Amino acid sequence: MQRFSDGSLAVLSGSSILRFVDADNDGIADGPGAVIYQAAGTFLTGFVKLVDHYAVGDLNSGAITLLRAGAPEDKLTADGTINLG
């Protein structure tokens, strides 16, 4: 789980990263999470912030994908992959 600069939360969910917004600050997400990154046919793990990128692991292949973030409401963009497996 990662908190973005606007206070929203990004959460791993299977093969997706979802962004949850709590605009009214009541501690409850205002709606369902928006998909901001989708990986095909895998399970994501280990979502961490690295300066101006995020790194997320692929449990099936052992690869680490570097994701570039734009504005908090934008989708994350894959910038590269490190293959360890």
Pair type for strands 34-38 and 16-20: antiparallel
Find the DSSP H helices in the chain: none
Sign of CA dihedral 24, 25, 27, 33: positive
Asked whether 41 and 15 are in contact (CB, 8 A), the reply is: yes
Give tens-digit pLDDT for 23-77. Answer: 898 989 999 999 999 998 889 999 999 988 999 999 988 899 999 988 778 899 9
pLDDT value, residue 53: 93
For the residues 8-17, what does the mean pLDDT come to? 94
Position 5 confidence tier, pLDDT thresholds 50, 70, 90: confident
Is 70 exceeded by the pLDDT of residue 85?
A: no
Does position 14 have pLDDT exceeding 90, yes or no? yes
Angle at 65 between CA 59 and CA 12, to 5 degrees: 60
The pTM of the full predicted model, rounded to 2 decimals, is: 0.88
Identify the pLDDT of residue 69. Answer: 87
